[in-house]
Amino acid sequence: EMSEMSERSKQNVAHGLAWSYYVGYLKIVLPRVKKSMEEFSRANPNLLACRKTWKLHILVPLSCDVYDDLEKADSNIQYVTDLTETTLARAGTKKRVYKHSLYAIRDEENQLWHCAVEYATPLQSLYAMSQDECAAFSREERLEQAKLFYRTLEEILKGSKECADAYRLIAYEEPEEAEIHFLSREIVWHLRQEHGEEIAVLEGSHPHSPSTGLDSAELNLQISVSDLPQPLRTDGF
């Protein structure tokens, strides 16, 4: 009965996508991100001066509108290079390659900010499902699924010791009226917060908590305790 209720409400879709994204991708790549950033920083010390930005910035547009080319999403975002790739044998595929791209983000003052950034790819599946008659997803249901995906992923990552301080989730709702540089401004806002956090640590003060930007409390999604992901076990099982 519980399974049928979950299927009717489609809650299992977002939960499954979030867990699959974590177990099949983030848990593999995030523990290696800082090493890749450190290697790049040694060769390019001026581009990644702030260690707080040495993480993977994961874009979570609640519209599920994902661009394959970030440069086409916003002309103030420019590809720089790929970080050191990780090669592993996975599910029968030998030498499977995992890598991240480094981008230069131009702000309104023409200053460049550098970071590794990419979309949360499962959102492409949610968008495709909303376009497929078999899945029967409405735009409203897709939005709720995107919110639930974000909340679930956030809870999973908070409980993951392997991924601690190696990521930053950037959830956002695009404005109703198109803004050509909305995405670059959103990313730069988060990078500025990270710079502020590093300065605060160096100076021994506490960083301010900004009131702008989306967080889980603002997603306005009702989730019962039983719906939330359970804490990750650390006993090897």
pLDDT tens-digit profile of 222-233? 444 444 444 443
Whether pLDDT at 208 is above 50: no
Q: Is residue 68 part of a domain?
A: yes
Q: Is residue 221 part of a domain?
A: no
The CA distance from 192 to 75, in Å, is 20
Phi-psi region of 220 (alpha: psi -120 to 50; beta: other; left: phi over 0): left
Domain total in the chain: 1
Q: Is residue 20 part of a domain?
A: yes
Cβ atoms of residues 78 and 104 within 8 Å = yes
Q: Is residue 52 part of a domain?
A: yes
Whether pLDDT at 184 is above 60: yes
Distance of CA 146 to the CA centre of its chain: 12
Confidence of residue 203 (pLDDT cuts 50, 70, 90): low
Q: Is residue 222 part of a domain?
A: no
pTM across the whole model: 0.81
| Domain of residue 85, residue span | 1-204
Output 9 or 119, whichever has higher pLDDT: 119
Terminal Cα-to-Cα distance of the chain (whole angstroms): 28
**Sequence-distant (≥ 6) Cβ neighbours of residue 198 within 8 angstroms:** 50, 51, 52
Report the CATH number that the domain containing residue 171 is assigned in CATH: 3.40.50.12100
Predicted pLDDT at 201:
52
Greatest distance between any 2 Cα atoms in the chain: 58
The CA distance from 41 to 32, in Å, is 14
| 226 burial type by CB count under 10 A (0-12 exposed, 13-18 middle, 19+ buried) | exposed
Structure tokens, 216: 């889980």
pLDDT averaged over every residue in the chain = 82
Strand 167-172, strand 77-82: pairing = unpaired
